[in-house]
Amino acid sequence: MMSKGNKQTRAVNWPVTILLIAGCLTIFFPLYMAFIIAMKQPSEMTNNIAGALSFPQTWSLANFREAMQVTDFWNSLGNSLLITVVTVVISIILHGMAGYAIGRSMKQSKIYNIIYMFIVSGMFVPFAILMMPLVKQTAQMGIANRFGVILLYVVFYMPLNVMLYRGYLSNIPIAIEEAARVDGASTWKIYWTIIFPMMKPMHATVAVLTAMSTWNDVMTPLVIMSGTGKNTLPLAQLNFQTQFGTNYNLAFASYILALIPILLFYIVCQKQIINGVANGAVK
Amino acid sequence: MKGDRERKRTFMLITIPILALFICFNTLPLIKGFIYSFTNFKGYGSYDWVGARNYVDLFTDGRVGRSYLFTFKYAIVGTILTNVISLVIALGLNSKIKGKSVLRGIYFIPNVLGGLVIGYIFSFFFTYILPVVGQSLGIEALSSSMLSSTSQAWIAIVIVGCWQAIAMNTIIYISGLQTVPEDIYEAGAIDGVTGWRKFKDLTFPLIIPFFGINMVLSMKNFLMVFDQVMALTKGGPAQSTESISYLIYNNGMSGGQFGFQSANAFLFFVTIVVISVVQMTITNKKEEQL
């Protein structure tokens, strides 16, 4: 009985494999279409499917070069990178500390329980309700710019990240810290030398989740940074679309350019990203 | 214990500034929005208090009503489709297949791509590719662009929304399926449980917590839809695909309805909280029963 069962589980399920490979077409088709159109000239875009989907007569990167100029690609990319990297670094530092301070105090203190619930419930506040007051507030404070956007992201992702850190810490026994305390180490030092390094897997999860939400977000920079003349990568596509939306070859080159950085990042850190997302959602 | 006071003080010194930051950019604007919702503020100039007028008007305003109808239709259909399809894909990706990790990697790609750009790419597909396919196959319903039809545009947004959301839910279902111990299936196999009954009686009850997470997550995300609407239809045609977030953005930021849309936003906030709490209570109960 057992050996038969094992044999069954070891055999490759080919029908399912083939179906899943076929299913990949639904994922690759839109990307293929975008790439092919980006490679073509407007004159090649005849009014049938072949016009859009066949290979171009000559492979040329001219559209990409032009799109880079029109959307000021390198500046937008720089802004997106700056905002994402700074947000991730601050999130790991601040949210990690908050998760530690709050998480370790919750057993002894009611107030910290309330603070924890208060911050975590921020997860249910949709951006739509904060948007209008925040536009006014950031303008009054003189931070309707990249700095303000970073600050807002740090606040928006605080509920989830504090929850993740606190959850992870509840599995780290407090005895480790107590040993260090006997040796006379300060709480601050204990955090940075013992706890912070121990939370490494959670840092990865927080970094991945925060980075992906920040990188792809349109709404926050759209309403906060609209007066600065500075773009993030998605925002540049929005402005481009409004101005030159009918030149599809140029537009798709620009879209592909906007997708490449995150695709490269995904290919390099695929395992960490998938694990990070799964951890973040399940915990 | 020695150093207890130092420990408490350090925790306090960490917590207070972080809490202050949170209050300043989350709680404060929330309260401000709530206060504005009782005014006729246009976003500039002076304003008056109008009491609960905005809230009364919300329920008689046709445009607001339509945006709730669209958003809920979109969110419910999207959540169901996403969960069914991603569960099927997850079951497939969790079975004995060739190239498992590559396939898993591919099926996750849509999740890392930005909603706006994906929306633009699909917009071309719906406008230029699909109608040609429809015409050549003689399918009347597909022969003109879905995006310009008031009865079909929402379906196009559902398709794009699902295309991205499925990736995320699949990964969560896979981590759920991996928690199901292999010997349960072996025991089931001895009893001759296979196929649909194996899924319904053995697998599904064990992954209900993950089903719960997915329902809450995808419902919440679908209800807040903005990027896809912005990219595909800008709320049209004839306001048939105006989501709540998009309406608040559009009329609140540039339409002179700051006060009124603040009331709308607050109602939206309460709606999301209620739905999330109800969903979580239901899934918790289901879990307890088992």
Instruction: Compute the 3-state secondary structure of chain B and give helix, strand, coil in percent, each to the nearest 5.
Output: 80, 0, 20
Strand partners, B39: B49
pLDDT level of residue A7 (50, 70, 90 thresholds)? very low
Best residue in B2, B88, B116, B274 to probe A by mutation, most A CBs within 10 Å? B116
pLDDT at A279: 79
Buried b (16+ CB within 10 A) or exposed e, B258-287: bbbbbbbbbbbbebbeebbeebeeebeeee
Are the C-beta atoms of A73 and A261 separated by less than 8 Å? Answer: no
Contacts of B41 (CB under 8 A, 6+ apart): B47, B258, B259, B262
Structure tokens at A270: 């695929």
pLDDT level of residue A283 (50, 70, 90 thresholds)? low
For A118, A262, B26, the CA distances from A90, given in Å and listed in that order, are 21, 21, 17
**Residue B50 falls inside a structural domain:** no
B66 vs B284: which has the higher pLDDT: B66
pLDDT at B288: 66
pLDDT at B38: 93
User: Which residues in chain B have their CB less than 8 angstroms from residue A151's CB?
Assistant: 21, 25
A248 lies in the same domain as A195: yes
pLDDT at A3: 41
A167 pLDDT more than 70: yes
**3-state class (DSSP) for residue B52:** coil
The partner residue sitting opposite B129, judged by closest CB among A21, A52, A223, is A52
A262: exposed, middle or buried (Cβ count in 10 Å: 0-12, 13-18, 19+) = buried
CA angle B52, B247, B270 (to 5 degrees): 50
Nearest CA distance, B150 vs chain A (angstrom): 22
A56 lies in the same domain as A6: yes
Domain stop point among A42, A60, A78:
A60
pLDDT level of residue A1 (50, 70, 90 thresholds)? very low
CA angle A280, B213, A159 (to 5 degrees): 45
Strand partners, B49: B39
Residue B152 phi/psi, 5-degree rounding, is: -115, -20
A12 lies in the same domain as A99: no
Structure tokens at A134: 């925040």
Are the C-beta atoms of B121 and A33 separated by less than 8 Å? Answer: yes
Best residue in B5, B16, B26, B248 to probe A by mutation, most A CBs within 10 Å? B26
As a whole number, mean pLDDT of residues A156-171 equals 92
Counted domains in chain B: 1
**Residue B39 falls inside a structural domain:** no
pLDDT level of residue B23 (50, 70, 90 thresholds)? very high
Q: Which residue has the tokens 């498992």?
A: B100
B143 touches chain A (CB under 8 A): no
Size of interface A-B (CB pairs under 8 A): 267
Give the DSSP letter string of B178-229: TTS-HHHHHHHHHTT--HHHIIIIIIHHHTHHHHHHHHHHHHHHHHT--HHH
Nearest to A133 by CA among B247, B31, B227: B31
Amino acid at B87: L
Are the C-beta atoms of A262 and B153 separated by less than 8 Å? Answer: no
- Residue-wise pLDDT for B36-94, tens only, equals 999 988 888 888 898 888 999 999 998 999 999 999 999 999 999 999 999 999 999 98
- Residue B210 belongs to domain with CATH number: 1.10.3720.10
**Residue B188 falls inside a structural domain:** yes
User: Which residues in chain A have their CB less than 8 angstroms from residue B29's CB?
Assistant: 129-130, 133-134, 137
Q: Do A17 and B272 touch (CB under 8 A)?
A: no
How many angstroms separate the CA atoms of A154 and A19, rounded? 42
For A24, A71, A153, A210, the CA distances from A81, given in Å and listed in that order, are 30, 16, 14, 13
How many angstroms separate the CA atoms of B88 and A253, rounded? 34
**Residue B9 falls inside a structural domain:** no
pLDDT at A42: 79
A207 pLDDT more than 50: yes
Q: Do A132 and B106 touch (CB under 8 A)?
A: no
ipTM: 0.88
- Residue A161 belongs to domain with CATH number: 1.10.3720.10
User: Which residues in chain B have their CB less than 8 angstroms from residue A12's CB?
Assistant: 96-98
Cis preceding-peptide flag for A159 (omega within 30 of 0): no
- Residue-wise pLDDT for B253-275, tens only, equals 888 888 999 999 999 999 999 99
Are the C-beta atoms of B89 and B172 separated by less than 8 Å? Answer: no
Give the residue numbers spanning the domain of A159. 69-282
Q: Do A278 and B8 touch (CB under 8 A)?
A: no
Q: Which of A28-37, A258-267, B180-189 has the lowest mean pLDDT?
A: B180-189
Nearest CA distance, B151 vs chain A (angstrom): 24
User: Which residues in chain A have their CB less than 8 angstroms from residue B131's CB?
Assistant: none
pLDDT at A113: 93
Q: How many CB atoms lie within 10 A of CB A55?
A: 11
As a whole number, the mean pLDDT across chain B is: 89
The partner residue sitting opposite A234, judged by closest CB among B26, B114, B268, is B114
Counted domains in chain A: 2
Nearest to A100 by CA among A206, A252, A22, A8: A206
B183 touches chain A (CB under 8 A): no
As a whole number, mean pLDDT of residues B112-131 equals 90
For A115, A218, B101, the CA distances from B104, given in Å and listed in that order, are 39, 27, 5
Give the residue numbers spanning the domain of B158. 63-289
Nearest to B239 by CA among B16, B59, B69, B56: B69
A132 lies in the same domain as A77: yes
- Residue-wise pLDDT for A55-99, tens only, equals 888 788 888 998 898 888 999 999 999 999 999 999 999 999 999
pLDDT at A47: 66
User: Which residues in chain A have their CB less than 8 angstroms from residue B270's CB?
Assistant: none
A33 lies in the same domain as A147: no
Contacts of B48 (CB under 8 A, 6+ apart): B39, B40
A132 lies in the same domain as A27: no
pLDDT level of residue B196 (50, 70, 90 thresholds)? confident
The partner residue sitting opposite B32, judged by closest CB among A19, A53, A133, is A133
Nearest residue on chain B to A10, alpha-carbon basis:
B96
Best residue in A25, A36, A132, A249 to probe B by mutation, most B CBs within 10 Å? A132
How many angstroms separate the CA atoms of A188 and A229, rounded? 41
A235 lies in the same domain as A132: yes
pLDDT level of residue A6 (50, 70, 90 thresholds)? very low
Are the C-beta atoms of A68 and A258 separated by less than 8 Å? Answer: no
The partner residue sitting opposite A132, judged by closest CB among B33, B104, B190, is B33
As a whole number, mean pLDDT of residues B16-42 equals 93
Contacts of B195 (CB under 8 A, 6+ apart): none
pLDDT at A2: 41
Nearest residue on chain A to B101, alpha-carbon basis:
A271
Nearest to B147 by CA among B135, B160, B165, B166: B160
B112 touches chain A (CB under 8 A): yes
Q: Do A219 and B226 touch (CB under 8 A)?
A: yes
The partner residue sitting opposite A132, judged by closest CB among B261, B269, B272, is B261
Contacts of A137 (CB under 8 A, 6+ apart): B25, B28, B29, B32
How many angstroms separate the CA atoms of A95 and B17, rounded? 12
Q: Do A129 and B30 touch (CB under 8 A)?
A: yes
Are the C-beta atoms of A201 and A168 separated by less than 8 Å? Answer: yes
A46 vs A153: which has the higher pLDDT: A153
pLDDT level of residue B10 (50, 70, 90 thresholds)? very high
Amino acid at A74: W
Are the C-beta atoms of A52 and A39 separated by less than 8 Å? Answer: no
pLDDT level of residue B217 (50, 70, 90 thresholds)? confident
Nearest CA distance, B94 vs chain A (angstrom): 10
- Residue-wise pLDDT for A125-163, tens only, equals 988 889 989 999 999 999 999 999 999 999 999 999 999
CA angle A224, A151, A105 (to 5 degrees): 145
A5 pLDDT more than 60: no
User: Which residues in chain A have their CB less than 8 angstroms from residue B272's CB?
Assistant: 124, 126
Best residue in A129, A134, A243, A267 to probe B by mutation, most B CBs within 10 Å? A129
Best residue in A13, A14, A20 to probe B by mutation, most B CBs within 10 Å? A20
Quote the radius of gyration of chain A (alpha carbons, Å): 24
Structure tokens at A7: 């044999």
pLDDT at B191: 80
A4 pLDDT more than 50: no
Q: How many CB atoms lie within 10 A of CB A90?
A: 16
